[in-house]
Amino acid sequence: MEVRLDGCAGFCFGVKRAVDTVYEQLKKGKTIYTYGPIVHNEEVIRELSEKGVMVLEDVQALEALPSQKNIPQKQNGESAAVIIRAHGVPKSVYAILEKKGLECVDATCPFVKRIHGIVEKESGEGKHIVIVGNPGHPEVEGILGWCRGEAKVLETAEEAEKFVPPAGREICVVSQTTFNYNKFYYIVEIFEKKGYNVSVVNTVCNATEERQRSARALAEEADVMIVIGGRHSSNTKKLYDICSEECAETYFIQTLDDLHLELPKSVRLVGITAGASTPNKLIEEVQNYVRINF
Ligand code: F3S
């Protein structure tokens, strides 16, 4: 029996880079804060918290932090650092960090950073920014915080139909990185049909789509599929749905404890994939378990 791990399983490039950054900074013996949980995975957050990493949940928590000189220093004299996660933050957060003299370790995904640069420049040149994405998502809030003047966030075709740009202003449309590519272009088409003066920058990141495409291809071949991810992770749920469409024996597990497999002899291929916030360690554990026990 073959056990095959999907090449796109688990952390995307940006999240991996951010999590690695936390471990690198920990090695330096600093007092570490992350601005928001570094990744939406309870296991990872618990492990980091056991190592002393503290999560600043919001801007109030950051404001409440003492200035660098008043933060208890570690014995080796190393300082405190605040790590910005892959989603990025509004420009104002950097200003608070600077004011407090706190070291900022910026792990914003370069693809998100690129959007910050675009909206800052384009809004500075007078364009009205439209962000296609989920208004409550931290990445979108971060992007908003780089726009000069007012900007609009919209998520649905209905909202796009209702949207009217300020008179005489050109609009610049960007998207949240995880937004669906087809839906993004559908919204752009609505603006074009309305005759608005639009410049469009496609800022959709294909990591999510690639993971889904790759999981589907593996599920098509597999006799059994195992999907690993958090209970509340919507992208893992989506992976599970895709795999179930192709493979009737698809299992959704959070940890190895959830795996109660009984594999008949006829099973030739077990495929494994994982959501964007599932750590490598867990994926390897599951993979090894299936290899050793079946
Ligand atoms: Fe991940 Fe960065 Fe894309 S965080 S989903 S690689 S934009």
| Ligand 1 neighbourhood includes 15 CB (under 6 angstroms) | yes
| Ligand 1 neighbourhood includes 146 CB (under 6 angstroms) | no
- Distances in Å between the alpha carbon of 174 and those of 88, 133, 210, 243? 15, 9, 20, 30
Task: Verify whether residue 139 is a known catalytic residue.
Answer: yes
Burial class (CB in 10 A: 0-12, 13-18, 19+), 276: buried
Buried b (16+ CB within 10 A) or exposed e, 87-120: bbbbeebeebbeebebebbebbbebbbebbebbb
Whether the per-residue pLDDT at 294 is higher than 70: the answer is yes
CA of 15 to the centre of ligand 1 (A): 7
How high is the mean pLDDT of the chain? 92
Whether the per-residue pLDDT at 83 is higher than 70: the answer is yes
Specify which of 22-31, 220-229, 276-285 reaches the highest per-range mean pLDDT.
220-229
| Ligand 1 neighbourhood includes 12 CB (under 6 angstroms) | yes
Which pLDDT belongs to residue 37?
93
> Residue 87's pLDDT band (boundaries 50, 70, 90)?
very high
Q: Express each pLDDT in 38-78 by its tens digit.
A: 988 888 899 999 999 999 999 999 999 888 766 655 545 55
| Ligand 1 neighbourhood includes 205 CB (under 6 angstroms) | yes
Please give the average per-residue pLDDT across 18-41, as a whole number.
Answer: 92
> Residue 241's pLDDT band (boundaries 50, 70, 90)?
very high
CA of 238 to the centre of ligand 1 (A): 17
> Residue 231's pLDDT band (boundaries 50, 70, 90)?
confident
> Residue 223's pLDDT band (boundaries 50, 70, 90)?
very high
Lowest mean pLDDT among 141-145, 179-183, 184-188: 179-183
Whether the per-residue pLDDT at 285 is higher than 70: the answer is yes
Whether the per-residue pLDDT at 119 is higher than 70: the answer is yes
| Ligand 1 neighbourhood includes 97 CB (under 6 angstroms) | no
* Active-site position among 139, 141, 155, 246: 139
Q: Which atom of ligand 1 is nearest to the CA of 178?
A: 5
Which pLDDT belongs to residue 71?
61
| Ligand 1 neighbourhood includes 225 CB (under 6 angstroms) | no
3-state secondary structure of 274: strand
Q: Which atom of ligand 1 is nearest to the CA of 18?
A: 4
Which pLDDT belongs to residue 5?
97
- Distances in Å between the alpha carbon of 166 and those of 124, 133, 136, 197, 261? 15, 20, 23, 11, 59
Which pLDDT belongs to residue 244?
98
Which pLDDT belongs to residue 52?
94
Give, for ligand 1, the residue of 13, 211, 236 to mutate: max count of ligand atoms closer than 8 Å to Cβ.
13
Element (H, E) at 77: none
Cα distance between residue 279 and residue 292, in whole Å? 20
155 secondary structure, DSSP code:
-
CA of 263 to the centre of ligand 1 (A): 35
Q: Which atom of ligand 1 is nearest to the CA of 15?
A: 4
Give, for ligand 1, the residue of 38, 41, 111 to mutate: max count of ligand atoms closer than 8 Å to Cβ.
111
β-strand pairing of 31-35 with 80-84: parallel
Which pLDDT belongs to residue 41?
81
| Ligand 1 neighbourhood includes 143 CB (under 6 angstroms) | no
Minimum CA distance residue for ligand 1 atom 4: 14
pTM exceeds 0.85 for this model: yes
3-state secondary structure of 39: coil
Q: Which atom of ligand 1 is nearest to the CA of 208?
A: 5
Whether the per-residue pLDDT at 162 is higher than 90: the answer is yes
| Ligand 1 neighbourhood includes 112 CB (under 6 angstroms) | yes
